[in-house]
Amino acid sequence: MTTAFDPIVLGGKHLANRLVMAPMTRSRAYGPGAEPTELMATYYAQRAGAGLIVTEGIQPSPLGQGYPDTPGLHTAGQVRAWRTVTDAVHREGGAIYAQLMHTGRIGHPSLLPDGLVPVGPSAVTAKGQVFTHEGPKEFVTPKELTEAEIRQTIADFADAARNAVAAGFDGVELHGANGYLIHQFLAPNTNHRTDAWGGDTEGRIRFAVEVATAVAEAIGSDRVGLRISPGNQFNDISEDTPDEVYLALLDRLAGLDLAYLHLMEGPNRDLTPRLRKVWPGTFVLNPFTYPDATGPDALGLIEDGSADMVAYGALFLANPDLPRRLASGGPFNNPDKATFYGGDHRGYTDYPTLPA
């Protein structure tokens, strides 16, 4: 029987176990030019016992930033700074993928270079507010992307993936979940286009397919993963019947031979085994456990074949040595929600590990 503590080969790289540190925005890229810091290198290196680390969301272009103090991968300085992080993780024997996240309509002009506004597949305003350096602000109506701008955005993803490889990352994960730009193209309430980038199922999956294709061509398909969250209502997304769209998406992507599919499961758990069945490659599952954090019970998803790898979020945040704790049945540190976003080392690099 395969367990979560057995090794696995992912994209030609041998991983020590099947536990994934899920991507989690921490908003601590205080360096000049949205560059990661030495403290971020310490944070990720502490968690190198994961089979795979997937970083916080990294904007592939200045326009892709939706939150304060999130890092980028579109300048030479950012590439150099990320090399410090990847070197630290590799020294500890870990593997690390960069999550490329364009937030699309989720953001605010105050977070962007002068004159820019958030963009989306259609000019549909998200309900709610976004946090900025000046406090919470209402979402604005995004600028609808033109054909040329869509093509440029796809190129930005590919360029950022090349930068990730130059920075020492083992691969990249495309963030197609949680209501950000790729997800906005997939969802009917955010994509009202009637051209080839919307309208029917084929049109709505096109952006995701073309981004994945361009990135795979840029760095090799074995270095590319994709995260999806069918039916997830986060960031004012509505997908009442996601089955058709996501099954069609996976059918189109199957031939690319990507490193993995990362499913952020929603309450409609009936879709999970269907996606697992049609996906030909490595299947990473972030199981639906809301309102609780994913716990030790999720290890059984490897044993029963529901997934090839299991992703842990908040529990990895609070337990740098999570694989060791899971193997021994605990105990587990509780995550401090007050320190999730922004701040210093507290609630970031000061969680204790088990005694040697």
* 97-122: pLDDT as tens digits: 999 999 999 999 999 998 899 999 99
Positions marked active-site? 180
- Element at 224 (helix H, strand E): strand 224-228
* Residue 229 DSSP SS3: coil
- What pLDDT does residue 302 have? 98
- What pLDDT does residue 115 have? 87
Is there a contact between 19 and 51 (Cβ–Cβ < 8 Å)?
yes
Tell me the mean pLDDT in the region 143-161: 98
At 234, the pLDDT band (50, 70, 90 cuts) reads very high
pLDDT tens digits, 253-269: 999 999 999 999 988 88
User: What are the b/e assignments for 93-120, b being 16+ CB within 10 Å?
Assistant: ebbbbbbbbbbbbbbbeebbeeeeebbb
* Residue 135 DSSP SS3: strand
- What pLDDT does residue 183 have? 98
Q: What is the DSSP string of 252-316?
A: HHGGG--SEEEEE--S-TTHHHHHHHH--SEEEEE---TTSPP-GGGGHHHHTTS-SEEEESHHH
- What pLDDT does residue 267 have? 85
| pLDDT score of 48 more than 90 | yes
CA torsion sign, 309 to 170 to 62 to 183?
negative
Q: Residue 120 — left, alpha, or beta (φ > 0 → left; ψ -120 to 50 → alpha)?
A: beta
Structural domain 8-339, CATH architecture: Alpha-Beta Barrel (3.20)
| pLDDT score of 356 more than 90 | no
Token pair for residue 171?
Answer: 């691969």
